[in-house]
Amino acid sequence: MNESIQLPLFIDSGDKNEIIKYLKMGLCHGVTTNPTILIKDGFTGGPEAIKKQMLEIAKLIQPYRLSVELTQNDNAQSMLAEAKDIISWGAANIDIKVPIHGPNGELDNLEVIHELENEHNIRVNCTAIMSAQQGLLAALAGASYVSLFCGRVNNMGYDSREELKKLRILLDQYGLKSKIIAASTREAINIMEWILAGAHIVTVVPKFIETMLVHPYSKETVQMFLADAKKNR
């Protein structure tokens, strides 16, 4: 695949069977994971098991990208050390997920993003972004991806599409390399809405792909075709 063309659907999953299912359909253009996703998918086994799972997924989806979340968020040095360790696993298509700031608003994270991208040539997916202004700062720091948690923005009573539009305008206006990932899908309708609002990519909860795909009138029409075909045998 030409890397200059970014296809729009990342699968939000740590389940290899789910990922394989949508790869076979041509509907998986990357994978995002985090500890919450792995727990939801029933994954256990500690750091070595997680490393094995991530390497298997990375190999499975090549040349598409896999985002792996840092578990350290205490200070710049611990985050840098963990990011370098993950990259040392040897999968060339792994990106590092770094939150926009620390759990209490610590500012080390943008320094980490800037160093990883500019000094170590490590791609970063900056996560937990809730506003266009946060996304712009992450993009200026050099993040390859900026993940706007649109579902959570909507939960707070704001229209995430407006934040997407503003952020896309800013990235395009200043020629910034960052791609917008619209994350935290709550409904199937979010996927088309967010792409049309300016997201380059949407992280999709797998169950919503089936919701998008299967339409009652399509089922009715196919059933009619089959019934009529039987009449002409």
Tell me: the pLDDT tens digits for 208-217? Answer: 999 999 999 9
Q: Residues 87-145: pLDDT tens digits?
A: 999 999 999 999 999 999 999 999 999 999 999 999 999 999 999 999 999 999 999 99
- Catalytic pick among 24, 51, 97, 179: 97
pTM: 0.93
Tokens 């170590």 belong to 120
CA 193, 179, 88, 84 dihedral sign is negative
Q: Which residues contact 21 (CB under 8 A, 6 or more apart)?
A: 206
Q: What is the mean pLDDT of the chain?
A: 93
What kind of fold does domain 9-231 have according to CATH? TIM Barrel (3.20.20)
Can you tell me the mean pLDDT for 18-42? 88
Q: What is the pLDDT of residue 5?
A: 60
Q: What is the pLDDT of residue 2?
A: 45
Q: Residues 166-199: pLDDT tens digits?
A: 999 999 999 999 999 999 999 999 999 999 999 9
Of the candidates 147, 169, 170, the one whose C-alpha atom is nearest the C-alpha of residue 67 is 147
**pLDDT tops 80 at residue 41:** no
Q: What is the pLDDT of residue 47?
A: 82
**pLDDT tops 60 at residue 67:** yes
Delimit the domains of the chain by residue range.
9-231
Active site residue 24: no
Q: What is the pLDDT of residue 1?
A: 40
Q: What is the pLDDT of residue 35?
A: 75
How far is residue 112 from each of residues 47, 82, 103, measured CA to CA in Å? Answer: 22, 11, 15
**pLDDT tops 70 at residue 9:** yes
Beta bridge partners of 181: 147, 201
